[in-house]
Structure 1
Amino acid sequence: MIPSATPRAPDPSSAAASSEPTSKDFEDFIYLISHDVRNSVRALIELPQWIAEDLTEAGVKIDGSVAESIELMNKHTGRLDRMLVDLLTFSRVGRMQNVEEVQIDAALSEVLEEIHIPQGFTVLRALDCDVLKIGERDIMTLLTALISNAVKHHDRTIGKIVVACYRDRHEVVLTVRDNGPGIPAGYHERVLGAMTTLRPRDEVEGSGMGLAITRKIALLYEGSVSIKEISEGRGTTIEVRLPA
């Protein structure tokens, strides 16, 4: 499933090129800096709470501009922490895991237990394909990214998400369909990029990494990801195709 590199003797003519950073070097850098920086961000998340507690103990009423400043600090440090978490998730794709036959239904059940699904949302299953050969953590990351994306960008308090899987010749097709506002056709390629959101982060909290993570996993396993237009009504369908 994952292409393996064939060792070969170095080419002297490419010595200069080989000295330049590779994609793996860059991802290693993302992993290390995200991990280290997040330790500092955790302290920053707690700092406003400590300030509020100290002010309360000193008999200072927290209101007005002070309360607004503390709330703003909480908002932005929380946003930074989410971005770092998603960068770490992006850098971990394909790392340190076994590639094996995974039961899709069991993986989906585990994901739904771990992520928060709002009370008004329903997740339905249409799994005509039972097994997918993929990294044991990558399938969890893939399903989490797709379902979380559908919930996060929905514009109503009541929604429906359908997770489907079926065989199409030599491919396994995994789709996640929602009945949200949809994605305009002209933005389909753009939203697959990293750190991309179509709505301001003040309206929808998120790093814009969900579909970028989805595409990275699909490409790692020599597959593809695309956004399908819905001819009637509302909604978005994200389709991931992987070799069977």
Structure 2
Amino acid sequence: MTRTAQMHETDTALPTGSISADSKEIEDFIYLISHDFRTSVRALIELPQWIEEDLAEAGVKIDGSVAESIELMNRHTGRLDRMLVDLLTFSRVGRMQTMEQIDLNAVLDEVLEEMRIPPGFKVVRALECADLKMGEIDVLTLLTALISNAVKHHDRSSGQIVVTCRSDGTHSVLSVQDNGPGIATDHHDRVFGAMTTLKPRDEVEGSGMGLAIVKKIAKLYNGDAQVIENAGSRGTTVEVRLQA
């Protein structure tokens, strides 16, 4: 990770938001068990590949039910690995960082470079506020989750994502708007639940943790997150309020 924060004052501790002692204990447990489980899952991902290579070297043709079983193993172990990665990300919110004055444009540059947005998509910046005061890891995680969610759930091969930031005096308001299919009104609250997907995972791969991570970050910084309908047009806007 490159250094994107520009320091304008002494670092301070992160806010605690609404995280209780019991919640922290649970998250500590999730962090430890996810980390340990991932080691085993990585081995499970590699084993089918080794078996396939050994069979090929032995001159055994891999087709029919054997090929289907190996492909199924690869798909499910890959899915499990993504779930564990997202659980680790969820449990790491607010950890091992301090409050800093973050250069939002620099963070966006880093996020977009790391994500490699599909060629048909355009990311537009409309940043009235040039920086945010929060943890560097948290802001990277927040923008990655919001932008990847907009791309992943888009129903077309091309689209536009608009990232905005403004201040209302007490809060910094960060939002990501897309021109995808949108989210039905009765699902606006549900999408922020952990492990929640509105489509089967065979249609859209994902752990269902993206917006749960967004909500947790918003709560940590004494704010909130909500889905807003794009008036008179396709798409969705996810708005995140963070205490200024």
Residue equivalent to 2:231? 231
Higher mean C-alpha displacement, 181-190 vs 161-170 = 161-170
**Deviation at 1:230?**
1.4
SS at match of 2:174: strand
The question of whether the paired residues in 1 share the 8 Å contact of 2:31 and 2:92 is answered with yes
- 1:2 equivalent to 2:15? Answer yes
Residue equivalent to 2:11? none
Q: Highest relative contact order (Cα 8 Å, sep 6+), 1 or 2?
A: 2
The question of whether the paired residues in 1 share the 8 Å contact of 2:124 and 2:160 is answered with yes
Residue equivalent to 1:15? none
Q: Distance in 1 between matches of 2:230 and 2:160?
A: 15
Q: Distance in 1 between matches of 2:116 and 2:37?
A: 26
Higher mean C-alpha displacement, 229-238 vs 74-83 = 229-238
Using the size of structure 1 for normalisation, the TM-score is: 0.92
Residue equivalent to 1:69? 69
**Deviation at 1:4?**
8.7
Cα distance per residue 1:181-237 (max 9 Å; x no partner): 000000000000000010000000000000000000000000110110112120000
Residue equivalent to 2:216? 216
Q: Distance in 2 between matches of 1:173 and 1:36?
A: 36
Q: Compared with structure 1, are the counterparts of its residues 4 and 161 closer, same or farther at alpha carbon in structure 2 (3 Å cutoff)? A: closer
Q: Distance in 1 between matches of 2:123 and 2:66?
A: 42
Counterpart amino acid of residue 15 in structure 2 = I
Structure index of larger Rg:
1
Aligned counterparts, 1:30-69, within 5 A: 30-69=30-69
Q: Compared with structure 1, are the counterparts of its residues 172 and 82 closer, same or farther at alpha carbon in structure 2 (3 Å cutoff)? A: same
Higher mean C-alpha displacement, 225-234 vs 32-41 = 225-234
Counterpart amino acid of residue 88 in structure 2 = L
Q: What is the RMSD of the two structures over their aligned residues, measured on CA atoms?
A: 1.3
- 1:87 equivalent to 2:100? Answer no
Percent identical pairs in the alignment equals 70
Q: Distance in 2 between matches of 1:149 and 1:230?
A: 16
Residue equivalent to 1:137? 137
Q: Compared with structure 1, are the counterparts of its residues 27 and 3 closer, same or farther at alpha carbon in structure 2 (3 Å cutoff)? A: closer
The question of whether the paired residues in 1 share the 8 Å contact of 2:17 and 2:222 is answered with no
Cα distance per residue 1:25-46 (max 9 Å; x no partner): 1000100000000000000000
Cα distance per residue 1:49-102 (max 9 Å; x no partner): 001001001110011111111100000000000000000000000001121110
The question of whether the paired residues in 1 share the 8 Å contact of 2:17 and 2:220 is answered with no
Residue equivalent to 1:166? 166
**Deviation at 1:167?**
1.1
Q: Distance in 1 between matches of 2:54 and 2:224?
A: 53
Residue equivalent to 1:13? none
Q: Distance in 1 between matches of 2:69 and 2:36?
A: 26
Size of the alignment, in residue pairs? 229
SS at match of 1:222: coil
Residue equivalent to 1:201? 201
Structure 1: runs of 5 or more not aligned: 6-20
Residue equivalent to 1:9? none
- Segments ≥4 residues shifted beyond 3 Å: none
Aligned counterparts, 1:116-135, within 5 A: 116-135=116-135
Structure 2: runs of 5 or more not aligned: 1-13
